[in-house]
Amino acid sequence: MGHAEFELADRPSAAPLSLDEYWMPFTPNRDFRREPKMVVRAEGVWLWNDRGERLIDASSGLFCVNAGHGRREIAEAVGRQLAELDFIAPFTRGHPGQFELATRVAALTPGDLNRIFFVNSGSEAVDSAMKIALAYWQAKGQGGRTMFVSRERAYHGVNFGGVSLAGLVNNRRRFGPTLPGIVHMRHTHLKENLFQPGEGEHGAELAEDLVRFVNLHGAENIAACFVEPIAGSTGCLVPPKGYLKRLREICDAHGILLVFDEVICGFGRTGPAFAAQSFGVTPDIMTMAKGLTNGAQPMGAVAVSERIHDTIFAAAAEGAIELFHGYTYSGHPAACAAGLATLDIYRDEGLFERGAALSPYFLDAIFALRDIGVVADIRGYGMLAAIEVHPDGVPGKRGHAFQKKLFDNGLHLKATGDAAIVAPPLVATREHVDMIADILRRTLKAL
């Protein structure tokens, strides 16, 4: 493989960057080395490349930067925290920020999801949630409940628990054997719901797949059912009307825990703080990350119902560790400071309400692209939408080309397969939405 390097236009006197050593995640690295797409600065909804050209960030980085880029309040809070207390062992030692942030997060979660376990990413949140579910059933004396039910087209991060839950073939196929005892319900993408904004009219009955697993495996063997309320990474699959409520009923009838993975949906993406509130369904455990710190620090969390937490605590001897799990950087002081500053911004600027108010305009603008021939489907809810293009031979080829051309035309977003996912920061205005729709239209027409 040849040597690749890149001369940064904004650093003409510096030595060129070698592109050989850094192995980029989820990236066609060889393609990137031929055509590097560098970003050097960000503010609000804007990104700048090294040539000083401005791009609009139509996917909030990677669905993280809900309050927009370059928030000084967060940077300053992190700086202050690092100067005061840079690190404290998270096992058996605490610092105030962890407790303050947990209280603030618990105030946003629905129901009694008031016990908060901190981690460093969405992937860690998912694997932690799986372990908490297993620990709960052991504590309750029902240790036979070890199976998990997930869903086709699900994305739950890249650690082994999440990969085993995953329903995206490329994220699984090279890494087997994945964990045993995981079964997948059908996904909810139905041709009857094509181009349907919001929840589809068809498909609530797909929740009955969970009943089939109960009938096949026995509820006494099933620990939990994991779903993303809106399947995000696969390209915004909004649940059909009544689907999540039905899952909740089936879980209740059979004592199965319901886990919502809100890593993308959380922090205002669907209107309220969490999609659980948008769809009126409260899970037993909820995972979150991304918008928790506005992407400024790596952090995730698992919100757990008091009932589950108390059961696990009650099963441990007084003075003993209740859960043998945690990370060196769980509740890192800098991440907690970023989280607190982020939640202040969301509250003080009313950003969840602002996103909810912009959503109809945003969805109208995106769904107006349906007249372009190459567009196969459009889906959306809140400030999250996906435009799927017809495949060009190999699945994902046209989607990748689309995403690259968008970048060249001044727009950044995340594409998965042939679906481009649009999720602007919640600070975006109607003018920003118009600009995003305009670049999307121009690029789609030229595809």
Ligand X SMILES: Cc1ncc(COP(=O)(O)O)c(C=O)c1O
Of 158 and 210, which CB lies nearer to ligand X in the complex structure?
158
Cα Rg of the chain, angstroms: 22
Tell me how far, at minimum, the Cβ of 110 lies from ligand X, in Å: 18
Of 122 and 339, which CB lies nearer to ligand X in the complex structure?
122
Of 419 and 435, which CB lies nearer to ligand X in the complex structure?
419
Tell me how far, at minimum, the Cβ of 125 lies from ligand X, in Å: 7
Q: Cα(415)–Cα(404) distance, rounded to whole angstroms? A: 9
- The residue written with tokens 């000084």 in the block is 72
Of 298 and 410, which CB lies nearer to ligand X in the complex structure?
298
Of 148 and 410, which CB lies nearer to ligand X in the complex structure?
148
Tell me how far, at minimum, the Cβ of 228 lies from ligand X, in Å: 5
Tell me how far, at minimum, the Cβ of 178 lies from ligand X, in Å: 16
Give rounded-to-5 percent helix, strand, coil for the chain. 40, 15, 40
CB 150 within 8 A of CB 167: yes
Of 105 and 126, which CB lies nearer to ligand X in the complex structure?
126
Tell me how far, at minimum, the Cβ of 231 lies from ligand X, in Å: 8
Of 298 and 355, which CB lies nearer to ligand X in the complex structure?
298
End-to-end CA distance of the chain: 30
Tell me how far, at minimum, the Cβ of 52 lies from ligand X, in Å: 30
The binding site for ligand X (CB under 6 A) comprises 121-123, 126, 155-157, 228, 232-233, 261, 263-264, 289
Strands (E), 95-201: 115-119, 147-151, 182-185
Tell me how far, at minimum, the Cβ of 103 lies from ligand X, in Å: 23
Query: Angle at the Cα of 306 (from 217 to 296), degrees rounded to 5?
Result: 95
For 180-217, letters b (16+ CB in 10 Å) and e give eebbbbbbbbbeebeebbebbeebbebbebbeebbeee
From 268, 354, 294, 290, select the one nearest 77 (Cα to Cα). Answer: 294
**Cβ contacts of 218 within 8 Å, gap of 6 or more:** none
Tell me how far, at minimum, the Cβ of 290 lies from ligand X, in Å: 7
From 236, 234, 285, select the one nearest 126 (Cα to Cα). Answer: 285
Of 129 and 369, which CB lies nearer to ligand X in the complex structure?
129
Query: Residue 152, SS3?
Result: coil
Nearest residue to ligand X, by Cβ distance, number only: 122
Separation in Å, CA 113 to CA 216, 231, 274, 276, 285: 30, 21, 12, 11, 7
